[in-house]
Structure 1
Amino acid sequence: MNKQVLTDFEAKWRPRINAYLDEQLLDCSNQPTLTAAMRYSVLAGGKRLRPLLTLAVLTTFDQPITPANMQASTAVELMHTYSLIHDDLPAMDNDRLRRGEPTNHVKFGEDVAILAGDALQPLSFEWIAASALSADVISQQTLALAQASGPQGMVAGQIADVLGAGKHLELPELKQLHREKTGALIHYAVQAGLIQAQVEPTVQEPLLQFADAFGLAFQIYDDILDVTSTAAEMGKATHKDADEHKNTYPGLLGLAGAQSALKAALETAQTALQQAANASGRDLELLAAFLTYFTD
């Protein structure tokens, strides 16, 4: 795994993603306050991990990234941001800091924040539908995003997280919770690239296994950072999960156990990538480089 490969890819595409989101959201509503609230959270920064994963899949399979691909690939960031706005609300996690800045409801009020999230969710589907990709690709990607974000995906994980607070979950239950809450949109991000590039099913399967292992690693890593990092380093409150008796990997397995679980997830991801490389005959170095995210 070559971290420089990821660094170079991010340096090329993250500014383009940010510029695209900025431009496309300039006139996203005829209500200035709603536009401001939507733009505030989408443009607040962030890794842009999900659209970067989609673009990395397209790059790996030699798919030119056209304006249509960019629109369909960045739509996931709108869905992701909607989930963060609602996750931060007083009725949910009641967070006041996100990416080092006041959360949306702190900045604009709880009512406007709810509506900003409500607006971003359908806008993500609008961007895919209006992307000028083929009807078949649009249909497949729309269905994939609906499944990833809906009652058997991200929202299912979110309610399991809410209802599980204060209860002891066993490891399989915790994995299922995070497979839905965090992993579903990461799975979708890889899947969206596979759909757009029209990758054959025999190659899609191991790459989606890679996505699921990556999503699991991402959540374990985040749980570890919540224990080991400061609010200044994370750009959000830390140690809240333990304070609110939420189920986490360090809480269930201890810090050393969580680090072992992270290592196991990364090994699963590497194995899946090797299977995909064998099935496709392609160099998957770019996708492998995403695993260096966890070496910091």
Structure 2
Amino acid sequence: MQDPLLDCEDDIRSYLEEHATTQCPPLLAQAMEYAVFPGGARVRPQLCMAVALANNSSDRPLAAAAATAVEFLHCASLVHDDLPCFDDATERRGKPSVHAKFGERIAVLTGDALIVAAFQTLAVHAIHNVRAERVPLVLSILARGVGAPHGIAAGQAWECEPSVDVARYHRAKTGALFIAATCAGAASAGVDPGPWMNLGACIGEAFQVADDIKDAIGDAELLGKPVGIDAKLGRPNAVHEIGLDGATDRLKSLLEEGLESVPYCAGRESLVRLVRAQSARFVPEKMGRSAA
């Protein structure tokens, strides 16, 4: 199986250039590119592409469009999450957050524009390709991952509630887009996305638990973003709920459950290796090998 990360990075840039054009208001175009590049680990689009390739996808362009859409949605969620009305974070990925650099109004519009760009990317694929019958299902999967009642919007809204179950919050805030990534990858390959939900759910919750641990004990300089935000805002956090040891154990069990749940497919062995390698990056440096 090819390296999905190398496979979709050029697609992400190409699709973004269709939206952040010279005809776009300059500040908005700059902010959109700033929000997407340079990227983070690209875990979600890589996972989407990897699932498609593992299932011998015959429609690589659709898989690439789905992976790109997933990343646009993720980047949009980060832009909105950093806004003063939510985290009021001034740093992201080791540089000023979008609202810190371009102002709050442009940041709101940047997040909105990236969400629209995600769905337009898939819609354009359907218009220009004869075999477009898989696109509606992919669109539906992604919409569920970012909307209500189970997607990112719901996860963000749970932060506004006086109390919330941590697992439920994690599933919506982070898990939903990972589920969308695995299921969209499967759907773009023409296979049933249902069996791929658990992989996305487990990896997504593990990612959020790891993020909670980083927020509790991490180093802001190493992470490239502020820490201690959850405690400051009184937000759900696995470490606060079950302690560092409990969160560490939960992280390990989620990763193992996710790997065990990978459905049989032609590229299962390669996919498991890739997911295991990516999962190792979740582990905060201070935890070292004990949590690997």
Class of the TM-score when normalised by the shorter of the 2 chains: 0.7 to 0.9
1:266 aligns to 2:255 (yes or no): yes
Query: What residue in structure 1 maps to residue 136 of structure 2?
Result: 139
CA distance in 2, matches of 1:226, 1:254: 13
Report the 3-state secondary structure (helix = DSSP H, G, I; strand = E; otherwise coil) of the residue aligned with 1:284: helix
Residues 168-187 of structure 1 aligned to structure 2 (within 5 Å): 169=164, 173-187=165-179
CA distance in 2, matches of 1:105, 1:256: 35
Query: What residue in structure 2 maps to residue 162 of structure 1?
Result: 160
Q: CA deviation at 1:9?
A: 2.5
Moved more, 112-121 or 95-104: 112-121
Q: CA deviation at 1:252?
A: 0.4
Contact kept? 1:69, 1:131, Cα under 8 Å: no
Report the TM-score, using the length of structure 2 for normalisation: 0.87
Query: What residue in structure 1 maps to residue 190 of structure 2?
Result: 198
Query: What residue in structure 2 maps to residue 212 of structure 1?
Result: 201
CA distance in 1, matches of 2:75, 2:28: 14
Query: What residue in structure 2 maps to residue 81 of structure 1?
Result: 75
Q: CA deviation at 1:265?
A: 0.9
Q: CA deviation at 1:44?
A: 3.5
Query: Closer, same or farther in 2 for the Cα pair 1:92/1:119, shift >3 Å?
Result: same
Query: Closer, same or farther in 2 for the Cα pair 1:29/1:20, shift >3 Å?
Result: same
Query: What residue in structure 2 maps to residue 284 of structure 1?
Result: 269
Counterpart AA for 1:231: A
CA distance in 1, matches of 2:167, 2:86: 20
1:123 aligns to 2:117 (yes or no): yes
Q: CA deviation at 1:16?
A: 3.1
Contact kept? 2:57, 2:190, Cα under 8 Å: no
Contact kept? 1:182, 1:219, Cα under 8 Å: yes
Query: Closer, same or farther in 2 for the Cα pair 1:263/1:32, shift >3 Å?
Result: same
Higher relative contact order (CA 8 A, sep 6+): 1
Q: How many residue pairs were aligned?
A: 277
**Structure 2 residue runs without a partner (length 5+):** 282-292
Identity %: 33
1:60 to 47, 54, 63: 54
Q: CA deviation at 1:65?
A: 6.0
CA distance in 1, matches of 2:22, 2:66: 16
Contact kept? 2:93, 2:223, Cα under 8 Å: yes
2:146 to 149, 154, 166: 149
Counterpart AA for 2:241: L
**Structure 1 residue runs without a partner (length 5+):** none
Counterpart AA for 2:269: L
Query: Closer, same or farther in 2 for the Cα pair 1:91/1:230, shift >3 Å?
Result: same
Report the 3-state secondary structure (helix = DSSP H, G, I; strand = E; otherwise coil) of the residue aligned with 1:251: helix
Report the TM-score, using the length of structure 1 for normalisation: 0.86
